[in-house]
Amino acid sequence: MMLRSFIAVEIPSEIQAAIALSIAPLKNALPKSLIRWVAPQNVHLTLKFLGDVSPANLEQLAGALKVEAASHEFFPISLGGLGAFPSTRRARVVWIGLEAPPALDALRRGVEATAAQLGYPAEERPFSPHLTIGRVGQNVSASDLVRIRTALEAARVGPLGQIRVGAVHIFKSDLQPGGSVYTHLYALSMKSI
């Protein structure tokens, strides 16, 4: 049995709730068929997508990641702002932005190197940290894209607070018709100072 897995930073539930509140007007401004919104409790910061992993390999990875995580100190991240990849004009992924110190990229590189040592292919795209809050449907029309862009540009999402990153987590993700269901598997603590 393989586990579709990823490594992420958790977002505290108060911040998830603040995000949900701040994007409610945007959600209400668009037909439900255009964007699959991420459930508030599922919002997270992905550090590394692993794909299908055997339970044994995942346990090995968790062991290595425990050592890696413990070598990184806690750091803060400020959340806020809204945008879309690759652009608001051709939105595919809708996100909440973040501001993080270089420590976030150091953590991400450490996670990447740890995974690479165990044979997981490295991410080729540059790291652009964000919180995915919605995914635009595959079959949207040109006029839908204009509608999405207009709604995104009208939406105002201010500062959403600061979090303190103190651990890295491994989740499994079960793809289901109603949306992916995440299950927490491992928590690897960082070094508090």
Residue 64's Cβ-side half-sphere holds a number of Cα atoms within 13 Å equal to 18
Cβ atoms of 44 and 9 within 8 Å: the answer is: yes
Please give the structure tokens belonging to residue 154. Answer: 């009208």
Q: Which residue has the tokens 């207009």?
A: 150
Shortest CA distance to 112 belongs to which of 184, 99, 93, 104?
104
Quick one: 51 or 71, whose CB is closer to ligand ATP?
51
Site for ligand ATP in 126-155 (CB under 6 A): 132, 135
Task: Give the span between the Cα atoms of 97 and 78, in whole angstroms.
Answer: 9
DSSP 8-state code for residue 192 = -
Phi, psi dihedral angles at 67 (to 5 degrees): -65, -45
CA terminus-to-terminus distance, the chain: 39
Site for ligand ATP in 4-43 (CB under 6 A): 4, 6
* The one segment of 15-23, 65-73, 77-85, 175-183 that binds ligand ATP by CB under 6 A: 175-183
Q: Is 179 in the site for ligand ATP (CB under 6 A)?
A: yes
Per DSSP, the three-state class of 36 is: strand
* The one segment of 10-18, 96-104, 106-114, 174-182 that binds ligand ATP by CB under 6 A: 174-182
Number of shown-chain residues binding ligand ATP (CB under 6 A): 10
Q: Is 92 in the site for ligand ATP (CB under 6 A)?
A: no
User: Could you say which of 175, 177, 178, 193 contacts ligand ATP (CB under 6 A)?
Assistant: 175
Quick one: 153 or 174, whose CB is closer to ligand ATP?
174
Minimum distance from CB of 53 to ligand ATP (Å)?
12
Q: Is 85 in the site for ligand ATP (CB under 6 A)?
A: no
Which residues would be at the binding site for ligand ATP (CB under 6 A)?
A: 4, 6, 46, 49, 132, 135, 173, 175, 179-180
